[in-house]
């Protein structure tokens, strides 16, 4: 009774579900022996044929009573209605009585899918004939099996429209089932996945799933796809690439022109300012033994005898490809190779060069042969403060980088995103900042795993436009491992709209994919997924100063009424305003009086100190608020008041240091919003030098906190 390969029919689907302990209708195929039905019992006859997904639309569903001979005749008629589908048989199913509610959807759909990027997923939402319409009102739940437990799925379902309806939590309804039955159903789905995997199933769609008279979820239909996965796994790059990239002992560059201002020359000029000694640098330049005071090699072939940790190829696309192929043929030469050129696997690749590159690497790795780890192509470079190593092809006059080692690692598919963050966020203490380009070899997950092996990294900020094939799940698992060890992963995913996908494809060669799926997988792995670039930047600023802790209770003090109002509007839920006790309110009133602000300032939060507050009033108030339930204190400084000295570093320097000291001694977060124009940039820099996170607006500061507090 099996269908042709590629199609999972309803009879076989029922068997797989029943094996996992799930409730399915009593059923059996005609002409397959005795059937479990009494004469006259209500039944449903279904015509099962290969690739027949929507049986009712083609007259292959019949409701009636059990009469074997009459059903055989009806099945023969069904077969005539679907001549284009190879016939499998007539399936007789129990007619399940199920619970309904007037005016509310009670049917569900469940899809179990092996996604090539995310692994096994369970998708659950409102089912039935109007499933598409309901999906717009109540988007389906997406549960990555590797990142979600049945208990976690039950918590999600409990809050979803479907779960609220089933459990009687909608206004004026009664419960149709209970949580233990729903948990058992979810546990069965999780068990079913193992059986589906063994059978080579890639998709099983159940629609509808109803609640029978006892409240048990029951699939009334199930079809899917089968696909054997015969692809052999490809070995991962040698982990030695990570140190070779960030802390190379020696480095070789190819593509250095005699003309100043070219890409290769800019890279070389930046590299020569690093802590690497000149003796650790070599160039590949055919026909020269020395150039610009550095020794030269004729080609990458000479690296076989004298290998390097890192090779930077600033060559045209075809020459770049040929150099990598040569390295693979000779079996050595460079631990990691950074490819600067575009035109490999992106919109400018009209000759299939990117496919050649991928095929070359895959062939050697599958055979267990030595293969270099490749970053790029289309890579702008990296900055590693430990060695003051700057391989970016941006001149120092445009992007002066000071070596400030720290706990933040930045990884970006877009080089422009990376350098604009380095330009704007000069206060960030960095472990590394790497533009990874098209991810044709080393992918986002590889970098996250590298950072996970590095105890210096506590926060990873990432910008992606697309995932390399299969890398969504790998990235989620790497992020989960980082989160389990107390580190944070903050990510902005570009290319979410159709227009964004097209732009990403033309620029980097990577499509965005389904954003809802990607977002679900990433959030469940613990990723802080920013929906707006401003939120990404704000959260990165907070985490750059305070990598540990999770803000929930926020106390705001300011000298401007509008900031108090804005903060009150923005605080709530997982990031709520601090509530003062009666004793704390009295202490705040005493502080206000001691600062001579009685009658001007009300002792409540958000605290509006008015333009009459000076530095001493701010410090006294911050000190008091740090002794409350507040996890974080946000200080709003509208700097146009005369009471704050914003011009004399001898005044605002100690003030900034005192705020930073209060944060350190309390173990809590303190951030500052300075709402003013360019005239106050030096003032902001003074606050940043003290180690404080500084924002242009109160809204920016709070948006960053809200993103961090949303962590699952």
For domain 549-709, the CATH superfamily is Succinyl-CoA synthetase domains (3.40.50.261)
- In the block, tokens 């679907």 appear at 82
Task: Give the pLDDT confidence score for residue 500 in this predicted structure.
Answer: 43
Task: Give the pLDDT confidence score for residue 148 in this predicted structure.
Answer: 93
Q: Which two tokens stand for residue 82?
A: 């679907």
pLDDT level of residue 3 (50, 70, 90 thresholds): very low
The answer to whether 26-94 and 549-709 have equal CATH topology is: no
| CA neighbor of 529 nearest in space, from 542, 518, 513 | 518
Using a pLDDT cut of 70, give the percent of the chain over it.
Answer: 96
For the stretch 154-185, pLDDT in tens is 999 999 999 999 999 998 889 999 999 999 99
Q: pTM of this prediction?
A: 0.84
Q: What does each C-alpha distance from 156 to 124, 152, 181, 294, 587 come to in angstroms?
A: 10, 7, 15, 62, 42
The span from the CA of 217 to the CA of 124, in Å, is: 12
Query: What angle is formed at CA 195 by the lines to CA 193 and CA 197, rounded to 5 degrees?
Result: 70
pLDDT level of residue 5 (50, 70, 90 thresholds): low
Peptide bond into 89 cis (omega under 30): no
Q: What does each C-alpha distance from 422 to 341, 412, 464 come to in angstroms?
A: 22, 12, 17
Mean pLDDT for the stretch of residues 280-307:
97
Mean pLDDT for the stretch of residues 694-709:
97
**Pairing mode of beta strands 669-674, 27-29:** unpaired
The span from the CA of 494 to the CA of 193, in Å, is: 31
Mean pLDDT for the stretch of residues 626-641:
97
Q: CB count, 10 Å around CB of 603?
A: 18
DSSP 508-536: HS-----HHHHHHHHHHTT-EEESSHHHH
Measured distance between the N- and C-terminal CA atoms of the chain, rounded to whole angstroms:
45
The span from the CA of 647 to the CA of 56, in Å, is: 78
Is 497 a residue whose pLDDT tops 60?
A: no
pLDDT level of residue 132 (50, 70, 90 thresholds): confident
| CA neighbor of 420 nearest in space, from 429, 407, 409, 433 | 433
| CA neighbor of 460 nearest in space, from 549, 551, 536, 375 | 536
pLDDT level of residue 511 (50, 70, 90 thresholds): very low
Q: Which two tokens stand for residue 367?
A: 């055979």
Q: Residue 243 in 3-state DSSP? A: helix
Is 711 a residue whose pLDDT tops 60?
A: yes
More confident residue, 5 or 105: 105
Residues 6+ apart with CB under 8 A from 579: 553, 605, 629
The span from the CA of 626 to the CA of 198, in Å, is: 56
Mean pLDDT for the stretch of residues 39-61:
94
Residues 6+ apart with CB under 8 A from 63: 42, 43, 44, 45, 95
The span from the CA of 671 to the CA of 564, in Å, is: 15
Q: Is 441 exposed, middle or buried (0-12, 13-18, 19+ CB in 10 A)?
A: buried
Is 545 a residue whose pLDDT tops 70?
A: yes
Domain 26-94 coded CATH 3.10.450: no
The span from the CA of 441 to the CA of 463, in Å, is: 17
CB of 555 closer than 8 Å to CB of 634: yes
Q: Which two tokens stand for residue 442?
A: 């080393």
For the stretch 675-686, pLDDT in tens is 999 999 999 999
- In the block, tokens 């437990």 appear at 149
Domain boundaries, the chain: 26-94, 108-226, 549-709
SS3 letters across 279-301: HHEEEECCCCCEECCEEEECCHH
Task: Give the pLDDT confidence score for residue 235 in this predicted structure.
Answer: 77
CB of 24 closer than 8 Å to CB of 17: yes
Task: Give the pLDDT confidence score for residue 232 in this predicted structure.
Answer: 53
For the stretch 588-620, pLDDT in tens is 999 999 999 999 999 999 999 999 999 999 999
More confident residue, 233 or 577: 577
CB of 310 closer than 8 Å to CB of 334: yes
The CA dihedral of 22, 25, 30, 31, to the nearest 10 degrees, is 40
CB of 287 closer than 8 Å to CB of 297: no
The span from the CA of 522 to the CA of 286, in Å, is: 47
Q: What does each C-alpha distance from 662 to 548, 616, 626, 668 come to in angstroms?
A: 16, 13, 8, 8
Q: Is 554 exposed, middle or buried (0-12, 13-18, 19+ CB in 10 A)?
A: buried
Residues 6+ apart with CB under 8 A from 392: 267, 270, 380, 381, 382, 383, 399, 415, 419, 435
Residues 6+ apart with CB under 8 A from 541: 425, 671, 693, 694, 695, 704
- In the block, tokens 């740090």 appear at 626
The span from the CA of 371 to the CA of 640, in Å, is: 60
Q: Is 627 left (phi over 0), alpha (psi -120 to 50) or beta?
A: alpha
Q: Which two tokens stand for residue 710?
A: 């949303």
Q: Residue 71 in 3-state DSSP? A: helix
Q: Is 572 exposed, middle or buried (0-12, 13-18, 19+ CB in 10 A)?
A: exposed
The span from the CA of 82 to the CA of 204, in Å, is: 22
Mean pLDDT for the stretch of residues 561-578:
94
pLDDT level of residue 495 (50, 70, 90 thresholds): low
For domain 108-226, the CATH superfamily is ATP-grasp fold, B domain (3.30.470.20)
For the stretch 435-482, pLDDT in tens is 999 999 999 999 999 999 999 999 999 999 988 888 999 999 999 999
Q: Please list, residue by residue across 524-547, b when 16 or more beta carbons sit within 10 angstroms of its beta carbon and e when fewer do.
A: bbbbbbbeeebbbbbbbbbbbbbb
The span from the CA of 124 to the CA of 208, in Å, is: 11
The span from the CA of 415 to the CA of 423, in Å, is: 12
Task: Give the pLDDT confidence score for residue 2 in this predicted structure.
Answer: 45
Is 508 a residue whose pLDDT tops 50?
A: no
SS3 letters across 179-196: HHHHHHHHHHHHHHHHHH
Task: Give the pLDDT confidence score for residue 9 in this predicted structure.
Answer: 93
């Amino acid at each position: 009774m099996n269908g042709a390969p590629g199609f999972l029919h309803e009879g076989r689907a029922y068997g797989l579900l029943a094996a996992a302990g799930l409730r399915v209708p009593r059923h059996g195929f005609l002409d397959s022996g005795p059937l479990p039905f009494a004469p006259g019992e209500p039944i449903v006859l279904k015509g099962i044929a290969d690739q027949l997904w929507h049986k009712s639309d083609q007259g292959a569903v019949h409701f009636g009573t059990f009469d074997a001979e009459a059903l055989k005749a009806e099945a023969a008629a069904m077969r005539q209605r679907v001549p284009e589908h190879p016939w499998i048989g007539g399936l007789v199913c129990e007619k399940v009585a199920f619970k309904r509610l007037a005016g509310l959807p009670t049917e569900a759909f469940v899809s179990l899918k092996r996604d090539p990027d995310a692994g096994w997923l369970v998708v659950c939402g409102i089912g039935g004939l109007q499933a598409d319409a309901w999906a717009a009102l109540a988007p389906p739940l997406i549960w990555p099996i590797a990142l979600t437990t049945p208990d976690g799925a039950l918590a999600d379902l409990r809050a979803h429209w479907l779960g609220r309806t089933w459990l009687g939590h909608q206004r004026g309804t009664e419960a149709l089932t209970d949580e233990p039955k729903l948990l058992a159903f979810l546990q069965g789905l999780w068990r079913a996945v193992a059986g589906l995997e063994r059978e080579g199933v890639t998709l099983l769609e159940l629609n509808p799933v109803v609640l029978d008279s006892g409240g048990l979820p029951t699939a009334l239909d199930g079809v899917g796809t089968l696909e054997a996965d015969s692809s052999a796994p490809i070995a991962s790059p040698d982990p030695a690439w990570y140190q070779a990239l960030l802390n190379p002992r020696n480095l070789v560059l190819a593509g250095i022109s005699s003309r100043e201002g070219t890409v290769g020359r800019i890279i070389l000029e930046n590299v020569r300012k690093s802590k690497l000694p000149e003796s650790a640098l070599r160039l590949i330049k055919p026909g020269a033994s020395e150039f610009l005071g550095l020794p030269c090699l004729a080609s990458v072939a000479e690296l076989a005898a004298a290998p390097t940790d890192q090779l930077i190829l600033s060559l045209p696309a075809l020459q770049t490809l040929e150099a990598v192929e040569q390295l693979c043929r000779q079996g050595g030469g460079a631990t990691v190779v950074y490819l600067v050129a575009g035109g490999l696997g992106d919109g400018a690749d009209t000759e299939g060069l990117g496919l050649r590159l991928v095929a070359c690497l895959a062939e050697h790795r599958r055979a267990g042969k030595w293969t270099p780890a490749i970053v790029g192509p289309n890579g702008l470079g990296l900055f590693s403060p430990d060695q003051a190593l700057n391989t970016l092809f941006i001149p120092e006059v445009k992007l002066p980088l000071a070596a400030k080692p720290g706990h933040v690692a930045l990884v970006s598919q877009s080089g422009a995103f990376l350098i604009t963050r380095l330009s704007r966020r000069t206060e960030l203490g960095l472990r590394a900042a790497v533009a990874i380009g098209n991810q044709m070899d080393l992918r986002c997950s590889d970098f996250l795993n590298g950072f996970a092996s590095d105890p210096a990294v506590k926060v990873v900020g990432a910008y992606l436009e697309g995932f390399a094939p299969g890398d969504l799940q790998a990235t989620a698992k790497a992020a989960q491992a980082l989160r389990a060890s107390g580190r944070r992963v903050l990510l902005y995913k570009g290319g979410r709209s159709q227009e964004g996908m097209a732009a990403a494809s033309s620029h980097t060669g990577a499509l965005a994919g389904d954003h809802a799926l990607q977002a679900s997988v990433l959030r469940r792995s613990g990723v802080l997924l920013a929906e707006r670039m401003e939120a990404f930047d704000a959260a990165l600023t907070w985490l750059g100063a305070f990598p540990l802790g999770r803000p929930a209770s926020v106390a705001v003090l300011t000298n401007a009424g509008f900031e108090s109002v804005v903060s009150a509007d923005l605080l709530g839920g997982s990031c709520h305003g601090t509530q003062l006790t009666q004793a704390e309110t009295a202490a705040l009133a005493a502080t206000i009086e001691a600062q001579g602000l009685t009658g001007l300032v009300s002792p409540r939060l958000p605290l509006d100190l008015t333009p009459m507050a000076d530095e001493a009033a701010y410090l006294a108030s911050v000190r008091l608020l740090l002794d409350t339930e507040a996890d974080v204190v946000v200080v709003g400084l509208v700097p146009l008041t005369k009471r704050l000295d914003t011009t004399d570093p001898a005044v605002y320097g100690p003030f900034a240091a005192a705020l930073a000291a209060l944060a350190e001694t309390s173990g809590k977060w303190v951030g500052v919003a300075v709402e003013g124009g360019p005239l106050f940039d030096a003032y902001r820099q003074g606050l940043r030098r003290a180690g404080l996170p500084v924002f242009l607006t109160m809204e920016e500061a709070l948006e960053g906190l809200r993103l961090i507090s949303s962590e699952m």
